[in-house]
Amino acid sequence: MAEIRTVLKRAASLFKCNSKVFSPLETPVMEAVKISGLGFEADEWVSLTLVLACLALVASTALFCMLLPMLYALCLALATAFSVGLCVYAYPFLIAGKNAKTMEAELPMFIARLLSVYAERKDMVSALKTTIYFYDGKLAERAKNGYVLFLAGVPAEQAFGSLIETPGLRYVNRAFKLIAKSLETGLDVGEALKDVARSASASIEFEAEKESKVGLVSWIISASSAFFFPLFAALGLVVMDVLERIAAVSPYTGSGKSVIQFAVFYYLMAGILFDAGYNGRIKFDSFVKGILVFAAPLCLLAIFVFVFTFKLANLFTGH
């Protein structure tokens, strides 16, 4: 894994572009790359995204030109390159979100252990040391780094800054702000930490219940754009070709057929983006996050369904 990361980092550094054109892509991903611990800078990750998208464009164009008519091949190659690029670009967001969710889930037990030790020793420094070396999770790992800085003389809020200021760690932020206050002043924050733990537990239960309710809806939405639409779109285009071959006079003008083909691929991509965003709205309350999470896999699945259906239908029609 380390070797692969080194190769990717070298490729990103080799093709890194310092142009301000890509700064709108670098700014949103900067924090996510840092939190995810991938070992890349934001500009390197954007460069890697562009490199892999270009490679996907070349490879998919060569593949689809052997399987499909030229226009279809170019449209699907562009869609594949977009999907690969989006998938790579979104990866730090997904890793950062997964890490945040894991740490939020670990928090109630972490606080319970911390308060148990604190009740015996009445010393937050000793209680925190015992707790972070008792657990092996991501939260304890991040807390160890802050604890080492605190012992080195760094102010508590600054030492635990990554757990206090990182976006997406709502309850972890609150808990470690209280812990830092106790470390600095000796203030008893036990009741406040218990309240944070209860709130975190309630939030986890709510998310689990929400997931169970919206899971089926999400699958139905995804199936409509990534399976059924490309399936019927491919069949429709094959039927168009069959009608042209058997009709004495072509039922479509050259421009009319091009408009229909463009509309098929346009609505294929637009439908995927809107359905991915809507999935994000019902699961994460964020349209943009839905596109980052769902658009790339849905698009790649839709491309596979389209190509498979198109080739199979042509096989049956003898075209």
Tens-place pLDDT, residues 230-269: 999 898 888 888 877 776 556 666 677 778 888 888 888 8
- Confidence at residue 242, expressed as pLDDT on a 0 to 100 scale: 83
Scanning the structure block, which residue is given the tokens 């965003």? Answer: 277
Sign of the dihedral defined by the CA atoms of residues 38, 43, 47, 53, in that order: positive
- Confidence at residue 279, expressed as pLDDT on a 0 to 100 scale: 85
E-strand stretches of 193-270: none
User: Residues near 89 by Cβ (< 8 Å), separated by ≥ 6?
Assistant: 25, 29, 45, 46, 49, 292
- Burial of 190 (C-beta count, 10 Å sphere; 0-12/13-18/19+): middle
- Confidence at residue 174, expressed as pLDDT on a 0 to 100 scale: 92
DSSP 58-83: HHHHHHHHHHS-HHHHHHHHHHHHHH
Q: How far apart are CA 93 and CA 259, in angstroms?
A: 37
Do 225 and 299 meet the contact criterion of CB atoms below 8 Å apart? Answer: no
Q: Residues in the chain with pLDDT < 50? A: none
- Confidence at residue 252, expressed as pLDDT on a 0 to 100 scale: 66
Sign of the dihedral defined by the CA atoms of residues 98, 104, 105, 109, in that order: positive
- Confidence at residue 254, expressed as pLDDT on a 0 to 100 scale: 62
- Confidence at residue 3, expressed as pLDDT on a 0 to 100 scale: 60
Q: Which long-range contacts (CB under 8 A, 24 or more apart) does 82-85 make?
A: 82/53, 82/269, 82/299, 83/56, 83/295, 83/296, 83/297, 83/299, 83/300, 83/303, 84/52, 84/53, 84/56, 84/296, 85/49, 85/50, 85/52, 85/53, 85/56
Q: What residue type is 127 in one-letter code?
A: A
